[in-house]
Amino acid sequence: MVLLKNYISHTNQIKIINKIRELGLGPGGFYQPVYRSGNKLHLQMMCLGKHWDPERGSYGLIREVDGACPPSIPVEFKQLVEDAIQDSHALLKEELKLSNVERVLPRMSPDICLVNFYTESGRLGLHQDTSESSESRRRGLPVVSFSIGDSAEFLYGNNRDINRAKKVILESGDVIIFGGKSRLVYHGVRCIKQNSAPSFLVEKANLRPGRINLTFREF
């Protein structure tokens, strides 16, 4: 796992918000997902590239609740993902003196992005990301996560025991990447830190209270 603090520039954070707002208001935009049990997720979600169905735990080409097709992942988002992986490799080489960085943290080309918007009361229980293809999981292709807006208390660990989970605060502009042996780590969002978003996002992007999280994967 690699955490890149304050990685996304102020300019790119504003661009991401504006693009997500544009896509989120269109066909296939934000909605509140429901699990098979009938429980609603404590967030609003939009899928890019492929639609993830929480009821089935699988991906598809359309969203069955309304027949909408997911928008494509913007090219500029893909470039940011590739840059983040490249810079993570440089960090691993420098800090851990690794020569086989691509075996430890493989490269990937995202064709799926889940965009979650957490309100001030939003949260997400500990879980694994297992809906991608068996080949993607076997190769340990990473999940790349962007945080924009309010800070979040991010939990991760080897199981679903919330009392044993480790914690890190993800702030606006942070990128966290988990792949390789950490690809199936349990992770979740315990809470959102209210009124913690940088002022420039409120002033220049009119960001409402809450947190935007973008997680990129290769199916």
Q: What is d(CA 16, CA 7) in angstroms, rounded to the nearest whole number?
A: 13
Q: Flag whether pLDDT at 180 surpasses 80.
A: yes
Q: Flag whether pLDDT at 57 surpasses 90.
A: no
Q: What is d(CA 18, CA 16) in angstroms, rounded to the nearest whole number?
A: 6
Instruction: Say if CB 145 and CB 177 are below 8 A apart.
Output: yes
Domains for the chain: give ranges and CATH numbers: 2-217 (2.60.120.590)
State which amino acid sits at residue 52.
Answer: W
State which amino acid sits at residue 14.
Answer: I
Q: Judging by beta carbons within 10 Å of its beta carbon (0-12, 13-18, 19+), is residue 41 exposed, middle or buried?
A: middle
Q: Flag whether pLDDT at 38 surpasses 80.
A: no
Q: What would you measure as the largest C-alpha separation in the chain, in angstroms?
A: 50
DSSP single-letter state for residue 26: S
**Runs of H (alpha helix) within the chain:** 10-24, 75-96, 101-104, 134-138, 199-205
Q: Flag whether pLDDT at 36 surpasses 80.
A: no
Interior angle at CA 213, CA 46 and CA 191, nearest 5: 115
Taking the chain, what is the end-to-end CA distance rounded to the nearest angstrom? Answer: 19
- The percent of residues in the chain predicted with pLDDT above 90, rounded, is 90
- What stretch of H or E contains 143? strand 143-149
Query: 103 is written with which tokens?
Result: 């075996």
Report the pLDDT value the prediction gives residue 39, as an integer from 0 to 100.
78
Q: What is d(CA 22, CA 30) in angstroms, rounded to the nearest whole number?
A: 11
Q: What is d(CA 56, CA 22) in angstroms, rounded to the nearest whole number?
A: 28
> Rounded to 5 degrees, what are φ and ψ at 86?
-60, -45
Query: 214 is written with which tokens?
Result: 């973008």
Report the pLDDT value the prediction gives residue 126, as an integer from 0 to 100.
96
Report the pLDDT value the prediction gives residue 42, as an integer from 0 to 100.
86
Q: What is the pLDDT of residues 187-211, one digit of tens each?
A: 999 999 999 999 999 999 999 999 9
Q: How confident is the model at residue 40 (pLDDT cuts 50, 70, 90)?
A: confident
